[in-house]
Amino acid sequence: MQALVNARVLTPKGYKDKQSVVFKDGVIVAVCDDEVRSANATILQDLGGGELIPGFVDVQVNGGGGVLFNDYPTVEGIKTIGEAHRKFGTTGFFPTLISDDLDVMARAIEAVDMAIQQGVPGVLGIHLEGPFLNVEKKGVHDPSKIKTIGANELALMSSLKAGKTIITLAPEKTTPDIISALHARGIIVCAGHTQASYDETMIAMDAGLTGFTHLFNAMRAMESRRPGIIAAALEDKRGWCGIIADGHHVHWAMLRLALRAKVGDQVFLVTDAMPSVGAMQKEFSIGGDAIIVNDGKCMTVDGRLAGSDLDMIGAVLNAVDHLNVDFPQAVRMASILPARFVNMQDRLGEIRVGLQADLILLSVDQKVEKTWIKGQAIS
């Protein structure tokens, strides 16, 4: 057994001071007062009263460290992206592929399988954001890549052997039977880049859709007589809503209203991060489109948002500053809530016995000083 001692630990019941977190084989076996910690545990570090919080889980990571997953659908590409985001507290992530050809999708799925098999830290599965979208809400997705789901596509989307698969699709561009088939295969189905009506969304949820990718963005607007997909997402307790809390994608007032309106504790943070996160070079390209990053905002030359330059600790602090939530709740929105969304709450998301020792040490000014994944110090 190994232990981190003398910490201020954010537990599911709130902060506790002068705590030890003891783990064995990467799993937490005790969270206890320092004076009663096991004498058999090797003390890895005395944290000097430092703040220890659960590692962040990000289900939408397009890139980082100068790498876009679409351009580098390889184990090395995944490693680079993960390393960039760990500096900001992300200990679990889903490499996210935006709309692309089926051969690129196959390579990305194979790379994630290999990364998990090789033990690349933090990889939880893959998020396929497209290409089964509505071209009217394509954003920066290449319209030539957008297609409908057939038997070959269904088989490909179901081919990941390790970890979990998230699919973002436009409900109105497929059928309830296909959504039901995806759900039956253990795939987490989300709606995004869509013009779906309220009724179409409810039918999709009845078939197994549970998630909403970057709520408000690339979705039909909510109107008084046409409530659309956003109203369905906020009203129905089956729906989990990811939000990009960067101040560019959605006005803070709209996110505050969403938090008030949403049934249940089911709004969580995502970054939708691009290669600029954790990279010195901020400019990059997507499918030939040059992307300029200015003051944290990723834009094409013709003014379209292109993902984000947001990291997870930044999203957490933004939530505290702008969404009327306290720091523990903001951390929950970046840890246990996304873990619940992907049905991994029995493995990730909190500092408690039986879960992985995925941990973040914060400085006094709430910067990430160090992270552990399965009890191993990573940064």
- What pLDDT is attached to residue 358? 98
Question: Cα–Cα distance between 159 and 295 in angstroms, integer?
Answer: 39
- What pLDDT is attached to residue 378? 80
Select which of 58, 100, 142, 272 is catalytic: 272
How does residue 36 score in pLDDT terms, banded at 50, 70 and 90?
Answer: low
Left, alpha or beta for 176 (phi > 0: left; psi -120 to 50: alpha)? Answer: alpha
Delimit the CATH 2.30.40.10 region(s) of the chain: 2-54+352-377
- Segment 286-324, tens digit of pLDDT: 988 899 998 889 999 988 999 999 999 999 999 999 999
- Segment 70-119, tens digit of pLDDT: 999 999 999 999 999 999 999 999 999 999 999 999 999 999 999 999 99
- What pLDDT is attached to residue 158? 96
Question: Cα–Cα distance between 265 and 329 in angstroms, integer?
Answer: 10
DSSP output for 237-267: TT-EEEEE-SSSSS-HHHHHHHHHHSSSS-E
DSSP output for 283-333: -EEETTEEEEEETTEEEETTS-B-SB---HHHHHHHHHHHSS--HHHHHHH
Delimit the CATH 3.20.20.140 region(s) of the chain: 56-341
* Topology, domain 56-341: TIM Barrel (3.20.20)
Question: Cα–Cα distance between 308 and 274 in angstroms, integer?
Answer: 6
Question: How much is the mean pLDDT over the chain?
Answer: 95
What is the mean pLDDT of the segment spanning 196-224? 97
How does residue 35 score in pLDDT terms, banded at 50, 70 and 90?
Answer: low
Phi, psi dihedrals of residue 16, rounded to the nearest 5°: -135, 135
How does residue 37 score in pLDDT terms, banded at 50, 70 and 90?
Answer: low
* Lowest mean pLDDT segment, chosen from 26-40, 129-143, 220-234, 292-306: 26-40
Does the annotation mark 272 as catalytic?
Answer: yes
CATH architecture of the domain covering 2-54+352-377: Roll (2.30)
- What pLDDT is attached to residue 263? 77
* pLDDT surpassing 90 at residue 327: yes
CA distances (Å), origin 199, targets 106, 163, 234:
33, 32, 14
Structure tokens, 244: 């990009």
* pLDDT surpassing 60 at residue 38: no
How does residue 284 score in pLDDT terms, banded at 50, 70 and 90?
Answer: very high
* pLDDT surpassing 60 at residue 246: yes
Q: What percent of the chain has pLDDT over 70?
A: 98
Question: Cα–Cα distance between 261 and 249 in angstroms, integer?
Answer: 19
What is the mean pLDDT of the segment spanning 323-338? 97
- What pLDDT is attached to residue 162? 93
